[in-house]
Structure 1
Amino acid sequence: MTWDLAFKLLALFAMIAIGWLATRRGMLGGAEGQRAMAGAAFGIFVPALLFRTMAALDLSQLPGQLLLAFFGPLMLWALAVWGWERRRADRHVDPDAHPADAAVRSVALTFGNTVQVGLPFAAALFGQAGLQIHLAIVALHALVILSLITVLAEIDLARAAARQGEGAALGPMLLGIVRQSLLHPVVLPVLLGMGWRLTGLTLHPVADQMLLTLGQAGVPLCLILIGASLAQHGLSPDPRALLGRVLLKLLLLPAVVAAAGWWLFGLRGLPLSVLVMAAALPIGSNALLFAQRYRTREGEASAVIVVSSVLFAFSAPLWLAVLAWLS
């Protein structure tokens, strides 16, 4: 763990603490105020960041094999977590359960903090060559993971509506799932940004600066919301289950990526190290935004973000030692 990364983590915790304190002092307007802030983050700031990123992204320059070696296992992992949580929900009927619970937990156990923690970590440990690989992951991270899990969430919502007799026939239901997925505030700006890139046009400097400023505002707002959610919901009614989920993200997911990279794709050295450490990152703030989008498991999402960020200080050196041994 480098000092630079340690300071970055402390800065994250400080902003989360500000959100917690502001909520305890009644400065954020209670639950409705937090939902309004989350709506702004998920409806304005994050879409601006995603559109600008995709509008400037040259897909032809991305390392295709390395991205497949990373996102292939991650997508299978996300599907496995979603399937497991859905099966548990079907077996144990919970009157307080929400149809999107499985998707929300899938995001939390898959989506890493590739920007606030991942960028300085990759730059400090792997240099320019490693940072370029990590930036390629960042460019597609939200597109691949959040788009997939958004579709899963919409499928579960449609399934729940059908069970209650409120659903439409199969054809209209599928069209509804597709429409809700495409109009999602994560998927739509990504698709629009890709469409803009395909036109060959560049963003006007005024538009580019506006999108940059909006995107930068989303990061501190997300951290404030994590602290606010912790103040409202607390850590977790079941700390053992919380810790188990965090350890799955910090230990088992990177092991899956390492095994796939080593045996299926034949990766060694720097590329393997960058991919494994990207998978080993703590849970990103989009897990909370996703939970707030569907209004379920918000306290749990906040808790796993904070706990995983703390434990990353211990799991990161462990993975670096494993990677050094593999090399």
Structure 2
Amino acid sequence: MLEILNIALPFFGLILLGSLAPRIWKLDEAGLAWLNVFVVYFALPALIFMVVSATPLERLVNPAFVTATGGVTLFCFLLMVLLARLVFHSDLRTAALQGTAASYGNVGYMGLPLAAAFFGAEATVPAALVFCFDCTVEFVLTAVLAGIGGRPHPSPAVITRKIVKDVFTHPFIVATLLGIAASAAGWAPSGGMKSILEMLMRAAGPVALFAMGVTVSLRRFGGVGRELPLLVAIKVLVQPILAFFIVLWLANPDPVWLQVAVMMAALPTASNAFILARQYDAYVEGSGVAVIVTTVASVVTIPLIVYALQHML
């Protein structure tokens, strides 16, 4: 357990440093945008591309694994939507965003760096696949249900265009697809290009986690809704438990891939859930509170889950 804490605490320490920085230095929040640009468009895509492109193609083609992990995300999303409608009487648009907050983990900023730290560089491959298919599930479901629940109703063509744009222009997904293409072609970067990509790789984890801490610290939210305890429980407990059994049953992967799948499922709500809530103008405060509460909870739950996995497998 001490070894796991020694790995985990520096990562959560970077988030803490990021959350403290705005309280010490009163800078304009607009500056954070450039830090996010570096992380989202340069550092993490470089990490994904370098690891995926260096992986043999036969290891990247794993439909059972992505079906299992994507299916768990889909189930948790729909479970929260159903409970939001039946128990909390949310309208469809709000329920869709509550489903997003209960199932959309921080698979980019936290998932990729943590997977590599806990399980080694090879763990970035299943982590990148989980990211791609989780994001696809979330973008599709949120766009469809929030669109149907909105006023006025957008046309199917408008919803489809938005889904295609969100999925196929996301830099992490583009980096994964380019990495798969490079692996299939047997191409690897060299010389100056390789050096630049490696420098970006090394910066990805620290900068992403620091930026996440800054983002969480700058948010100011009001009260907590009755649905929040259930939403948090689904995100940090139900989703990883389901991931363990469903991935083991459907995919029967090697231990590292199974551990990555469960750890990725246990991640706190992504800040993208808050961004989507603002975009659809529904459940904005609730999504923000979910990001903060699940992030704090994950300081305890993720090391415990990783410890349990390493002693079970």
Give the alignment's TM-score, normalised by structure 2. Answer: 0.75
Amino acid at match of 1:279: V
Match of 1:300 among 273, 280, 290: 290
Note the C-alpha offset of 1:63: 8.1
Kindly indicate whether residue 140 of structure 2 is the aligned counterpart of residue 151 of structure 1: yes
Percent identity, please: 18
State the alpha-carbon separation in 1 of the partners of residues 298 and 11 from structure 2: 12
Amino acid at match of 2:6: F
Q: Report Cα offsets for 1:156-182 as digits up to 9, x if no partner.
A: 454456x325x2x43454244223321
Which residue does 1:180 correspond to in 2?
A: 166
1:237/1:320 Cα in 2 relative to 1: closer, same or farther (>3 Å)?
A: farther
Say if 1:143 and 1:186, in contact at 8 Å, map to a contact too: yes
Match of 1:75 among 70, 75, 82: 70
Say if 1:16 and 1:225, in contact at 8 Å, map to a contact too: yes
Match of 1:309 among 299, 308, 311: 299
For residues 122-201 of structure 1, the aligned pairs below 5 Å read 122=119, 134=123, 136-156=125-145, 158-159=147-148, 163-165=151-153, 167=154, 169-201=155-187
1:229/1:237 Cα in 2 relative to 1: closer, same or farther (>3 Å)?
A: farther
More moved, 249-258 vs 74-83: 249-258
Which residue does 2:36 correspond to in 1?
A: 38
Say if 1:20 and 1:228, in contact at 8 Å, map to a contact too: yes
State the alpha-carbon separation in 2 of the partners of residues 315 and 243 from structure 1: 20
State the alpha-carbon separation in 1 of the partners of residues 71 and 296 from structure 2: 25
Note the C-alpha offset of 1:17: 2.0
Which residue does 1:102 correspond to in 2?
A: 99
For residues 114-125 of structure 1, the aligned pairs below 5 Å read 114-122=111-119
Amino acid at match of 1:288: S
More moved, 186-195 vs 289-298: 289-298
Kindly indicate whether residue 6 of structure 2 is the aligned counterpart of residue 7 of structure 1: yes
Q: Report Cα offsets for 1:37-76 as digits up to 9, x if no partner.
A: 3343223322332333333332214584xx72x4333211
Amino acid at match of 2:187: L
Q: Report Cα offsets for 1:100-157 as digits up to 9, x if no partner.
A: 553343212888955444444336xxxxxxx85x454234232222233233334345
1:13/1:241 Cα in 2 relative to 1: closer, same or farther (>3 Å)?
A: farther
Kindly indicate whether residue 204 of structure 2 is the aligned counterpart of residue 205 of structure 1: no
1:104/1:184 Cα in 2 relative to 1: closer, same or farther (>3 Å)?
A: farther
User: Unpaired runs of 5+ in structure 1?
Assistant: 124-130
Say if 1:283 and 1:305, in contact at 8 Å, map to a contact too: no
1:14/1:198 Cα in 2 relative to 1: closer, same or farther (>3 Å)?
A: same
Note the C-alpha offset of 1:307: 1.7
Note the C-alpha offset of 1:283: 4.6
Say if 2:80 and 2:231, in contact at 8 Å, map to a contact too: no
State the alpha-carbon separation in 1 of the partners of residues 25 and 157 from structure 2: 47
State the alpha-carbon separation in 1 of the partners of residues 200 and 128 from structure 2: 17
1:111/1:172 Cα in 2 relative to 1: closer, same or farther (>3 Å)?
A: closer
Note the C-alpha offset of 1:24: 0.7
Note the C-alpha offset of 1:274: 5.9
1:285/1:195 Cα in 2 relative to 1: closer, same or farther (>3 Å)?
A: farther
Which residue does 1:127 correspond to in 2?
A: none
User: Unpaired runs of 5+ in structure 2?
Assistant: 279-283
State the alpha-carbon separation in 2 of the partners of residues 276 and 236 from structure 1: 36
Say if 1:254 and 1:280, in contact at 8 Å, map to a contact too: yes
Q: CA RMSD in A?
A: 3.9
Which residue does 1:225 correspond to in 2?
A: 211
1:94/1:79 Cα in 2 relative to 1: closer, same or farther (>3 Å)?
A: closer
State the alpha-carbon separation in 2 of the partners of residues 285 and 28 from structure 1: 26
Number of residue pairs matched by the alignment: 303
Say if 1:78 and 1:107, in contact at 8 Å, map to a contact too: yes
Q: Report Cα offsets for 1:215-252 as digits up to 9, x if no partner.
A: 33232222112322332337995499666555544543
State the alpha-carbon separation in 2 of the partners of residues 84 and 110 from structure 1: 20
Match of 1:275 among 228, 245, 258: 258
